[in-house]
Amino acid sequence: MEIQLLGITVLWIFLYGYLIVASIDFGAGFFAYYGKVTKRDDVINNIISRYLSPVWEVTNVFFVFFFVGLVGFFPSTAYYFGTALLVPGSIGLVLLAIRGSFYAFGNYGAKESNLYTFLYGATGLLIPASLSTALTISEGGFMVEKGGTVVFLVKELFTSFYSWSVVFLAIVSVLYISAMFLTFYASKAKDIQALELLRKYALFWSPPTILASFLVFASLNDHNPEHFQNMLDYSYLFMLSLFCFLIAVWLVYRKKNYGTAFLFVMLQFLFAFFGYGVSHLPYILYPYITLDAGFTNETMGIALVIAFIAGLLLLIPSLYLIMRMFLFDANYVQGDRPK
């Protein structure tokens, strides 16, 4: 069990990293388009562009690591999720391709294209909505085995209140995390106009995030009572998450310590995300795949753990260098260096 637990922990760290980094990226794209629609792009789009330019290419590294690792550690996930995620996963990949392409076209090709900005902003909300179905499906009830074949219950997925509550949480969380970070980034840039506008966005999307979280809790109790009861055993993690949320929102409301506020946002999602993950164990896909039953052989597991820890140790310094050399460089963040 030790190597299995270590393996899933490493994967969960990668997924948490993707949750934070991708949310900032996806939300920033939406706010860039919203700024154009509301004629406030002159206020916030310079801040957004300075953030996106250095990091948009590396966001999906976390995503690739997680899904490659998931199949490597738990090969049977390819059999089950391969059927269930064929449609939503394909949609997500197409949206990722569209997003990357139109960011490049919009910034390095045809300037000031409303169509490109719209596609970039819209995909920023549709991608997390489509990818969130993987977590929804892992709760069980959306597939059955008939005669050795996995049958995906599409109707059950699209008519499930739990499924739509997870989609709602994914979308509002993206906007909340992104607005909180961009508020901090605008404060670093000493851009008062952008700071005030982004601060309003952060406060606006805070209540829907908590509302969506409670909806997921309530609907999970109906959909998978066993998991819900396990989550009650780790209720202290979710209480810590709520405490971090209140601190973050209070700091932003009082217009102080925006960096500390975003740190509490990260802790908020860290406690909630790992609380959800640990309470889901031993299941990877309920009720078909568990840590023990679905794990690869021990030799391969050890090799994968070493490889992924090494990848994590390379990825974290790389992100630190990007932040040090670009995002939080005193000249760059204030627009004194070219993007």
Distance CA 81, CA 16 (A): 20
Contact 254, 173 (CB under 8 A): no
Q: Please report the pLDDT score of residue 330 as a whole number.
A: 47
In this predicted structure, what is the pLDDT of residue 246?
Answer: 96
Q: What is the DSSP string of 74-99?
A: -THHHHHHHHHTHHHHHHHHHHHHHH
Distance, C-alpha 19 to centroid of its chain:
2
pLDDT tens digit sequence for 30-77:
888 888 888 877 777 777 776 665 555 666 777 777 777 777 777 777
In this predicted structure, what is the pLDDT of residue 339? 47
- Alpha-carbon distances, residue 86 vs 40, 128, 188 (angstroms): 39, 16, 42
| pLDDT number for residue 219 | 92
- Per-residue model confidence as pLDDT tens digits over 211-222: 999 999 999 988
Determine the pLDDT at residue 109.
Answer: 52
Q: Is 283 helix (H, G, I), strand (E, B) or coil?
A: strand
Nearest CA to 186 out of 258, 251, 245 is that of 258
Q: Which long-range CB contacts under 8 A does 100-108 form with residues at least 24 apart?
A: 100/56, 103/29, 103/52, 103/56, 107/49, 107/53
DSSP state of 142: S
Q: Which residues of the chain have pLDDT under 50?
A: 330-332, 337-339
For residue 248, the model assigns a pLDDT of 95
CA of 186: how far to CAs of 43, 68, 190, 249, in Å? Answer: 10, 35, 6, 16
What sign for the dihedral angle of Cα 129, 133, 139, 144? positive
Q: How many CB atoms lie within 10 A of CB 236?
A: 10
Neighbours of 295 (CB within 10 A): 22
Tell me which residue has tokens 């499906």: 137
- Domain ranges in the chain are 2-333
